[in-house]
Amino acid sequence: MSATTETPRMATGASVYDPEHKSAGAFEPELLRRLWGYVRPYRRYVVASLALLLVTQAAGLGLFFLLRHAFDVHIEPAQFEGYTTVLAGLLAISVVEYLARRRQVWLLDLAGQNALLDLRRDLFRHLQRLSSSFFDRTPIGKLVGRVTSDIEALQEMFSSGVVTILGDFVLIVALVVFLLVLDAELALVSFLIIPGLLGATIWARRRVRKAYQTMTSRRSRMNAFLHEHVAGMALVQAFGREQIAKDEYGSINAEMRDAQLDAVTWESFLSAATDMLSAFTTALITWYGARLILGDVLLGARPDLTLGTLFLFVFWMQRFFQPLTDLSLKYTVMQSAMTAAERIFRLMDVHEFISEPTEAVELPAARGEVVFDDVRFAYGQGEPVLHGISFRVRPGEKVAIVGATGSGKSTLQKLLTRLYDVRSGAIRLDGLDARQYPIAELRRRVGVVLQDVFLFEGTVLDNLRLGHPEISEADAIAAADRLGLDRIVKRFARGYREPVSERGKNFSSGERQLISFARALAVAPPVLVLDEATSNVDTETEELLQSALKELIRGRTALVIAHRLSTIRDADRILVLDGGRLVEEGRHEQLLKRGGRYRELYDLQYRDQADAATS
């Protein structure tokens, strides 16, 4: 038993992936660098967008400079010579601003969408490569979240203009500088209210966010309750629990309302406070500006301070408020984007792959010999499921594997196709260790027909050639005809070109099995592992399946995880598994006579079939 301590072979760098891992959403340079890797191919869009952003901001500032000029030179003194030029300039600037802004938003989102599509594709491909043992211990829901909602969070970063945070900073700095240059004293007075504004928005925003979090969790609780009670309403009524259900829902509903009211309160406060502080600033500028002009201040009169400048201050300070109030909002979006990025990249750092052979070995000619040599295996950290299985299947031999549920039958198939690697011992195909075959080659040599038939959307023919574009249409159809599939598809107007509906709903389960037989036959692997389906099919299809099975395994090595008595009887040899051990082997009659485990299984599972057949 000490041999089982050998760890499964994985590529180096494998870390334990914990989907619940909480992260702070910090702006780690490493994360940004990797994200940049995806944005990089589209950097031209990003650079152009940022350049346009600067143009937009400059145009916005320029507009007001020109406006001040118009006011001081033309409007205030009522001198309108050259006014048309000023107006033309204003028009030109506003058109430039409009066009630049439009293009800027578009380019940035285009870059973001493209980069995220690439990321999504890479992530999916990465998930495809991860070994099956990874999926045994990671909930699928979490992984789906990585590909969807986490990437959405990154998208939010692009589309909600968080990247323009850079532009906002430029704008804020530019405004501060311009206002200080125009009139330092008035500028400093104008800025007085800013700290209050920042404090209020950050404070209120935090409360809004909390209220929303509460709301989200209460909403999902409410929806879960609703779903359950709509689905189980017959039960509620049958047991006369209407009032209890209404009371329970009433309290959940009230909690939901209270959370919503909380959010409304803080949001109302936030928007009112912003408006108010902006108007306070206007009042402050008017009052202090007037005093400056009239010379009522410490530093003396400021006759050069024009009314136009005053006007400009009021306008600009209003413009100043928007990016400042947005700042905390954008920071939140940015934080959740970073959290999402960290989760995504941590998943991409999981290198739990079934390893490809490191050096190329000359592959033996395919004869179809399979050897299990003292194979031991356990799923993850669980109990061992195979305790040293050894057997040899000669080329062309038909072997039936029987055993109760949990005896380890399907594990044999998973090991042979290297969905998992053996813990110890070895599996050899035509004399060469399975681990020395490139995985694609191994899975070409070992064909598998599963109980669970997987049909993609597309035509029947597409499904026959699935994953094997090298098979010609004619070959695929010939293989299908040999199995009698032509008798089934002839009921469709388009025959083999009939589209398969979602999950193959337009075929019965027996017909789906027949398609998967034909798929395997078209590939013509030297070794075939077949997990016989247990589902009921009608008698006609059953006969068709039986004869198709014989045709399919003719001339190749076949390991059949058998459920049908006829299959077992026809086998050259039967391997009986029990609790992960090979307990008996031989032919049907021999084993029956022996009266061991096979006899037990036969009495329990196959007897009825035998009785029915002979009666």
Partner 1 sequence: MEGAKRTVGSGPILELLPYYRRYRRAYLLGSLCLVGTIVLRLFVPWLLGDAIDDLRKLLAEDSEADPEHTRYRIAVHAGLIAGSALVGAYLRTWSRLHILGTSRRVVHDLREDLFAKLTRLAPSYFLRTNTGQVMSRAVNDMNNVQGLTGPVFMYIAETALLFAIGISMMASLDVWVTACAVLPFPLFIWRARALAKTIQEGSRAAQDSLGTVSDKVAESLSGQLVIKTLGLEAPDFERFAAHAEEYRRLNLEVTRARAKLSPMMVWLAALSMLIALSVSAPRIESGAVTPGEVVSLIFYLQLLAAPIGTLGFVISSVQRGAVALTRIFEVVHAEETLPDRAEHRRLPAVRGELELRHLTVLRKPAVSAEGGEAPPDRRVLDDISLKVPAGTTLGIVGHTGSGKSTLVAVLARQLEVPAGTVFVDGEDVTELAPTWLRQQIAVVPQDPFLFSASLSENVALGVRDASPERVAEAVRIAHLDVDLAQLPQGLETIVGERGVNLSGGQRQRAALARAVLMAPRILILDDTLSAVDTHTADHILNALEPLMEGRTTIVVAHRISTVAHCDQVVLLEEGRIAERGTHAALLARGGRYAELFESQEREPEHRPADEAPQEVPR
Q: Please name the residues in contact with 233: beta carbons below 8 A apart, sequence gap of 6 or more.
A: none
Q: Please name the residues in contact with 554: beta carbons below 8 A apart, sequence gap of 6 or more.
A: none
Whole-angstrom CA distances from 289 to 249, 293, 307, 314, 521 are: 59, 6, 9, 10, 90
C-alpha closest to that of 270 among 359, 362, 207, 333 = 207
Between residues 388 and 410, which has the closer beta carbon with respect to partner 1?
A: 410
Between residues 308 and 425, which has the closer beta carbon with respect to partner 1?
A: 308
Asked whether 459 and 500 are in contact (CB, 8 A), the reply is: yes
Nearest approach, Cβ of residue 211 and partner 1 (Å): 12
Report the alpha-carbon distance of residue 249 to residue 471 in Å, rounded.
59
Between residues 87 and 166, which has the closer beta carbon with respect to partner 1?
A: 87
Nearest approach, Cβ of residue 493 and partner 1 (Å): 22
Exposed, middle or buried by CB within 10 Å (0-12, 13-18, 19+), for 352? buried
Nearest approach, Cβ of residue 146 and partner 1 (Å): 9
Whole-angstrom CA distances from 17 to 20, 137, 145 are: 9, 9, 15
Q: What is the DSSP string of 309-374?
A: HHHHHHHHHHHHHHHHHHHHHHHHHHHHHHHHHHHHHHHHT---BPPPPSS--PPPP----EEEEE
Between residues 418 and 573, which has the closer beta carbon with respect to partner 1?
A: 418
H helix count then E strand count, the chain: 23, 12
Between residues 4 and 546, which has the closer beta carbon with respect to partner 1?
A: 546
Nearest approach, Cβ of residue 116 and partner 1 (Å): 8
Exposed, middle or buried by CB within 10 Å (0-12, 13-18, 19+), for 562? buried
Beta-bridged to residue 401, according to DSSP, are 561, 575
Nearest approach, Cβ of residue 63 and partner 1 (Å): 7
Between residues 313 and 388, which has the closer beta carbon with respect to partner 1?
A: 313
Nearest approach, Cβ of residue 481 and partner 1 (Å): 21
Between residues 132 and 547, which has the closer beta carbon with respect to partner 1?
A: 132
Token couple for 430: 């035509």
Between residues 26 and 232, which has the closer beta carbon with respect to partner 1?
A: 232
Between residues 269 and 394, which has the closer beta carbon with respect to partner 1?
A: 269
Q: What is the DSSP string of 29-75?
A: HHHHHHHHHHHGGGHHHHHHHHHHHHHHHHHHHHHHHHHHHIIIIII
Report the alpha-carbon distance of residue 226 to residue 239 in Å, rounded.
18
Nearest approach, Cβ of residue 375 and partner 1 (Å): 18
Nearest approach, Cβ of residue 30 and partner 1 (Å): 26
Nearest approach, Cβ of residue 535 and partner 1 (Å): 3
Token couple for 351: 């290198």
**Which DSSP symbol is given to 421?**
-
C-alpha closest to that of 65 among 319, 261, 403, 398 = 319
Q: Please name the residues in contact with 378: beta carbons below 8 A apart, sequence gap of 6 or more.
A: 4, 384, 385, 386, 423
Nearest approach, Cβ of residue 346 and partner 1 (Å): 17
Q: What distance separates the 2 farthest-apart alpha carbons in the chain?
A: 120
Between residues 49 and 388, which has the closer beta carbon with respect to partner 1?
A: 49
Nearest approach, Cβ of residue 26 and partner 1 (Å): 27
Between residues 270 and 388, which has the closer beta carbon with respect to partner 1?
A: 270
Asked whether 377 and 386 are in contact (CB, 8 A), the reply is: yes
